Copies of this chain bind each other. A is one copy, B any other.
């Protein structure tokens, strides 16, 4: 309105909020795709950083630096946005499949499960979003969390499947049940550590604490699978 000439290529257009005080928001100009991505990324970041407690329309919009109305328009509300996060979780698998076996030959199912356990432990430790989702899963049973949970368990299952290759568990062991317990253990250990820095009296802060935990985990895996 206030300019009748040179309205194109304005080097620093109107910024409703002081431009230098904010960190990331990255100006977008009427680019729906970019805005959608910004919203999705904001949602993932918010969930990873703050947890599901303060996860809501208003908070996501604030973080994305856009109006919440856009979340309704583009994702149909929080549920749709959560679905989008879930869909995004599918990419987790590819990122977590190492090319080689770490210079180690996996000859037995025990070899495999030892390696998978440690890999999964490390992956969870490195992935705050995944951690928050796991914590969410055991805390609520709403439609939203169920969808996320489905996506996550599907991703986990295909990951395990891909890594398993052709190795089969020893006879006489209920591998599904045993592995479920191992996964449960890993998830809870990481969640506990992440929330309180310890689990059942075992400190989990320094890397030497984690070495102890990994050692114990290996012993357990070897105990069942040899």
Contact = CB atoms under 8 A, between A and B. Distances in A.
Interface string A140-153: 11000010010001
A140 B53 contact: yes
Interface stretch (A19-27, A40-48, A62-70, A176-184): A176-184
Nearest to A135: B139
Total identical chains:
2
A80 interface: no
A180 B220 CA distance: 12
A167 interface: no
A131 B52 CA distance: 18
Given A138-B135, A191-B138, A180 B153 contact: no
A181 B139 contact: no
Contacts of A216: 174, 177-178, 180-181
A157 interface: yes
11 contacts: A53-B139, A137-B192, A140-B195, A174-B215, A178-B220, A181-B189, A182-B220, A184-B184, A184-B200, A188-B188, A219-B224
Interface of A: 51-53, 135-141, 146, 149, 153, 156-157, 173-174, 176-185, 187-189, 191-192, 194-196, 199-202, 212-213, 215-217, 219-220, 222-224
Report, nearest first, the 10 A-B pairs whose CB atoms are least far apart: A223-B223, A185-B185, A177-B216, A188-B188, A180-B202, A184-B188, A138-B191, A183-B200, A180-B200, A223-B224
